[in-house]
């Protein structure tokens, strides 16, 4: 049986992942408004990934006999100053999520909750990828600066991302 403390923390993490999904869906809408449909595609795929993350925590909680207690999802931002500002926000948010995952790992360790510890390893690895992806796009945006052609090339590349 999972501890109450871990149960509460996983419920909170479901909310964090749902908020991540909401944030990226909001950002996808922002890019659609700018007619940058490659950026839109990338964020729309990312939105789905976040839903999968939330589901993984949900399924784990149910499997361990924990109580599911869903809270309200915070309203995300609706607009950004441009692609660079948006991807700075993505990277900042993913770093925040990494911090949350690390706290869960610390809690699992402190409680000697091996099952939660093992489950969380998937998220530890996933966060490395999440941060690297955001960092990579941000670096490219910094490289092209204000050059519209460069921005359109990045947009074309981001259009290739497919739902996992
Ligand atoms: Fe669910 Fe982007 O971390």
Residue range 74-104, pLDDT digits in tens? 999 999 999 999 999 999 999 999 999 999 9
Does the beta carbon of 16 lie inside 6 Å of ligand 1? no
End-to-end CA distance of the chain: 32
Burial class (CB in 10 A: 0-12, 13-18, 19+), 123: buried
Instruction: Report pLDDT for 64.
Output: 98
Q: Establish if 164 belongs to a structural domain.
A: no
Dihedral, 80, 85, 91, 92 alpha carbons, nearest 10:
-70
Ligand 1: centre distance to CA 116 (Å) = 18
Q: Establish if 91 belongs to a structural domain.
A: yes
Mean pLDDT, all residues of the chain? 97
Does the beta carbon of 23 lie inside 6 Å of ligand 1? no
Which CATH number do you get for residue 89? 1.20.1260.10
Question: Which candidate, 160, 155, 164, places its Cα nearest to that of 31?
Answer: 155
Model confidence band, residue 163 (pLDDT cutoffs 50, 70, 90)? confident
Six token digits for residue 38: 């490659």
Number of domains present in the structure of the chain: 1
Does the beta carbon of 17 lie inside 6 Å of ligand 1? yes
Model confidence band, residue 10 (pLDDT cutoffs 50, 70, 90)? very high
Q: Establish if 163 belongs to a structural domain.
A: no
Q: Which atom of ligand 1 is nearest to the CA of 53?
A: 1
Q: Domain span at residue 150?
A: 4-158
Q: How many CB atoms lie within 10 A of CB 164?
A: 7
Instruction: Report pLDDT for 164.
Output: 77
pLDDT at 110 over 80: yes
**With pLDDT > 70 as the criterion, what percentage of the chain qualifies?**
100
Q: Establish if 133 belongs to a structural domain.
A: yes
Q: Establish if 126 belongs to a structural domain.
A: yes
Q: Establish if 28 belongs to a structural domain.
A: yes
pLDDT at 109 over 80: yes
Q: Establish if 78 belongs to a structural domain.
A: yes
**With pLDDT > 90 as the criterion, what percentage of the chain qualifies?**
98
pLDDT at 27 over 80: yes
Does the beta carbon of 130 lie inside 6 Å of ligand 1? yes
Q: Establish if 115 belongs to a structural domain.
A: yes
């Amino acid at each position: 049986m999972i501890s109450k403390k871990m149960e509460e923390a996983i419920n909170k993490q479901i909310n964090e992942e749902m908020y991540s999904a909401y944030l990226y869906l909001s950002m996808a809408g922002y890019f659609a408004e700018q007619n940058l449909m490659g950026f839109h595609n990338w964020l729309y795929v990312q939105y789905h990934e976040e839903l999968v993350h939330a589901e993984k925590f949900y399924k784990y909680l149910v499997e361990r006999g924990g109580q599911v207690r869903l809270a309200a999802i915070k309203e995300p931002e609706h607009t950004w100053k441009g692609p660079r500002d948006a991807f700075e926000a993505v990277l900042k948010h993913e770093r925040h999520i990494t911090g949350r995952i690390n706290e869960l790992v610390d809690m699992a360790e402190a409680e000697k909750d091996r099952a939660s510890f093992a489950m969380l390893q998937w998220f530890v690895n996933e966060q490395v990828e999440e941060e690297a992806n955001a960092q990579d796009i941000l670096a490219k945006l910094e490289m092209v600066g204000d050059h519209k052609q460069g921005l359109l090339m990045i947009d074309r590349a981001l259009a290739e991302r497919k739902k996992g």
